[in-house]
Every structure is written in structure tokens, then in C-alpha cells.
Amino acid sequence: MKKIYIIILAATLLFPSCNDWLDIDPELEIREQALFTTEQGFMDLLTGAYIRVATPSLYGLNTSARLPEFMAQHWTTTANTLHAHLANFDFTQTASQTLLEVIWLQYYQTIVNLNALLLEIDAREELFTNGNYALIKGEAKGLRAFLHLEILRLWGAAPGEIAMEEKAIPYTREVTKSPQALRTLTYREVFDKILEDLDEAESLLADDPIRHYSNAVLNSIGTLAGINENLPHPADDFHYYRQVRFNYFAVKATKARYHAWLGDMERAAARALEVIAATGDDGTVQFTLGNETAAAAGHLTFPTEHIFAVANSLATETLTPVFFTHATAYTRDIAALENAYEKTLHASDIRFRNNRLWEVTTIPLYGEFVYFKKFNDTEKTAVEDIPLIRLAEMYFIAIEAGHTDLFRDYRVARSLDASLDGTLDSPEAIRARLEKEYRKEFYGEGQMIFFYKRHGYTTLTWPVVKEITTAAYRLPIPQSQSLFE
């Protein structure tokens, strides 16, 4: 996919300081008049939000492969280190508190900049051409809702312990540099505002180009000539590369995740099924499950499944010490991995066989080491498109809601053993199977911990038995914010 870039980036966007509490991007203040007097200015501001989401402070590392993955016990740790604290759900240590502060700060700085766009765009509607007013406003509202839901999933209580009138997190629609303005709302208020933003985004994105063209076409500018001449072509370059923007189907998928978090699996499945069945105007299926062809080519994030991803231009720089350098790389012992991927039962699993997802190698003077390869582009570079919502999750949500026929489609795509077909005969059996599949499917992507939290697991059984409380899943709100509840 094409990578999203903004013309000028302030250094604080890429390298934020914890002391710059909710400081609006200095670029926004310096260039305010220019940003809000042209269509391109609004495009640049929205692009800046995507770039911030993709930085190492958020999904470029911290909220994908780092924080939630150590909590899910996916990486080995060394005692008395930050990562050991995360794996032990210990957020009383200075290092873990600092990490949470950085993440919290970046989420809300991104939201504040989206708010700046949304507060100005209606008064400037005449600036926009080619349907870009609705497209930009819809993306911004949808992304704002998505980010608040992510904050709630991390900092809120486990769903089984939510009391709707209790305080949850701030939901802000203001532009502010003051932490006092971030008032914590109740769960009911936050859930209502998330859904309100998602509903508005869905309406605004009703004519999203992703509803007309296949992603294969939208991800390749210049290939439209001669392709279905009866369909209207995208009006400008801004309409391409919809998988790395918060598109119409990202709204639907976020609604599926939202309803699943609330325990309304009927509504969650309805939204998930819409995404699974999505087609363009020419009848082309919009998202397809990754298969042997993709895995053999090394595309282990399965790009055809990306409903919403972000382009991380710092991927190789950030992930070299994380996945390419044995002295610092995140890893897991091979025996535990063979157990997780059920190697005996699923010898043909397209992800685990042939050293695809994990490679065991012997390093001179060091010994055996297991490299995680999901985010490899080449042996020395990382993929830049980091998936935040994938089609597999929509399948799992629908399966959990009782649409167990879909498990066969998923099983066939991943070459899992056919003996599993008849085992999903009760809610308990479905959940037990999905626990295994979430781990295998989303390793390194930060989704496993939310399955545990949503179902209130108090015993984690892999790689070893670990007892926790449901309260442990709720991250402590940074002290600088909790002072103003």
C-alpha cells in the first residue's frame, strides 16, 4: 500500500515528551491559518493524525507488539525489567508508569488534533471538491471513536465488571492544552459518544471509494484504465489506499468490536458479517482471508485482510532491535510455540510450517534463538503497514456469536486439520477453540489480551499457568490525569 506522509512534521510528533501534557502539535498552532484555509490543509492535518497513530509510541510498537503482548505472556522476559513488570501486570513501577503515560498522551494528542479538524471543517465546506468534505470528516469522526474505544479497552474495567454509571475515561471533543479540560465521563456516556461518532462516520462515508472499487485497484494508482468503464473512477489521488485510512468498512468492523465488548454478540456478528460479505460495485469481494499463496510469499500480516492498517515509515528503524537483533529481540521458546500452534494436530498450518512465522536458528557463541518473522519484509527490513483490524477478527466475532459454519472457511484458508469441524458444539467449546485461534492468529498484534479481558479470564494457561484478577486488566490512569477526575 502507499504510505501516508505529511509535508512538514514537528519533531514532537515523532518524539513526544511526557512533560508536554496534551500539548497541541506546535505545527497546528504555527500553521493554523494555512491548515484551515485550503482543502490540502485539512488533508495534511488528518494525515498527521494517521502518522501519529503509526509512531512507536502507539501502534508502531507500544500498543501492538509491546504492552498488550507482554501482558498476554507472548514474549519471554528477564526479571526486574520493564517487560517483566508488564507481563506481571505490575504498573506500580516507575518504568511501567512512564510507558502508560506516553501511550495515554499520544492517544489524546491525536484525538485533540482530530477535534481541531472537526471543529473547523463545517465552516469551510466550500473549500472541498470531489466529495472530500464527507470523506475527511467521516474518517476523522470514525478514527476519534476508534481511538476512544481503544483507550477504554485498555484503561476501562473488564466488561463483566462495568457499572455504567461509574467513571471510565475522558471522551473529548474539544481542542485543549489543559489537562483540567479532560474530564472523566461515565461508561454510559463514553459508550454513547463512541457509537454516536461511529454512526455519523458511517453516514458520512456512505460513498467511500472502498464501496465501489476493489482494494487491489485502489492500492495501485494508474491501473484503472480499461477496468469496468461503466463505473465512476476515483476523482482524485486522495481516494486511493483506503485500507490505510479509516474507511467505511473500518467503521463497520469497529462497531463489531464495540458490540462484542458490550457482550451484544448478535449486533456484533451482524456488523462483522457485513464486512465479511463486502463487495465492490463490480461484485469483487473486498476482503479475503490470507492463504498459502500469501504465507509462502512471506506476507504473514495477510494484507488482503487489512480492514484498517497504519503505515509506519519508521518500521525498520523501530523493529530492528525488537525482531531482528537477537540480543534484544522479543522471542519465545520453541516448545511453547509448538504447543500454541498445535504442531502435532496442524502440521500443515500455513503460518507455522517451514520457519515462516518463527525461525529457530543457532547463533555462534550464543546458541539457539527463535526469531519472530510476522513483521519481516526482507531479512533486514520490516513491513510498514501495521494492521489494526483484520478480517480474521470479524470471522472470530461471528463464530463466537454462533455462526460456526464460518470456521470451516477460516480453517481451510489456514490449512488447519478438518477434525476441528465438529467440535464447536457449545459456547464453552467455541470459546476454548477461539482462545487458541486468537493466540495463533494475532501473535504480535496486541489482540490476545482483549480476548482474555472481554471474557474475564482469571487463569492464563499458556505458556504456563498464571493466576490474575479481573481488576488487573484495568490499567491505572496516569497520575497527571487522575488528579482532574
Q: What is the pLDDT of residues 63-94, one digit of tens each?
A: 999 999 999 999 999 999 999 999 999 999 99
Look at residue 175 and give its three-state secondary structure. coil
The pLDDT value given to residue 220: 83
What's the CA gap between 423 and 402, in Å, rounded?
Answer: 13
pLDDT at 222: 67
User: What does the pLDDT read at residue 299?
Assistant: 97
The secondary structure of 88-130 as a DSSP string is TT---SHHHHHHHHHHHHHHHHHHHHHHHHHHHHGGGGGG--T
The answer to whether position 429 is within a domain reads yes
Please tell me the predicted confidence (pLDDT) of residue 216.
85
The Cα 479–Cα 97 span in angstroms is: 9
Specify whether the CB–CB gap between 42 and 36 falls below 8 A.
yes
Segments of the chain with pLDDT less than 70: 1-33, 179-181, 222-233, 482-485
CATH number, residue 28: 1.25.40.390
Whether 441 is in a domain gets the answer: yes
275: which residues sit within 8 A by CB, 6+ positions away? 249, 252, 253, 256, 287, 307, 391, 394
User: Looking at the domain assignment, is residue 375 inside a domain?
Assistant: no
Q: What is the mean pLDDT of the chain?
A: 91
Q: Which amino acid is at 217?
A: V
Burial grade of 252 (CB within 10 A; 0-12, 13-18, 19 or more): buried
> Residue 111: what pLDDT?
96
Q: What is the DSSP string of 192-253?
A: HHHHHHHHHHHHHTTT-GGGTS-HHHHTSTT--TTS-TTSPPPSSGGGS-GGGS--HHHHHH
Range of the domain at 36: 11-223+232-313+385-482
What's the pLDDT tens digit per position in 272-309? 999 999 998 888 899 999 999 999 999 999 999 999 99
**Does 207 fall in a domain?**
yes
Number of folded domains that form the chain:
1
49 found inside a domain: yes
Residue closest to 265 by CA, chosen among 275, 277, 276, 256: 256
The reply to whether 258 falls in a domain is yes
Q: For residue 353, tell me if it sits in a domain.
A: no
177-186: list long-range contacts, CB under 8 Å, 24+ apart: 177/22, 177/23, 177/24, 178/22, 179/21, 179/22, 179/480, 179/481, 179/483, 179/484, 180/484, 182/22, 182/108, 182/481, 182/484, 183/484, 183/485, 184/477, 184/481, 184/484, 184/485
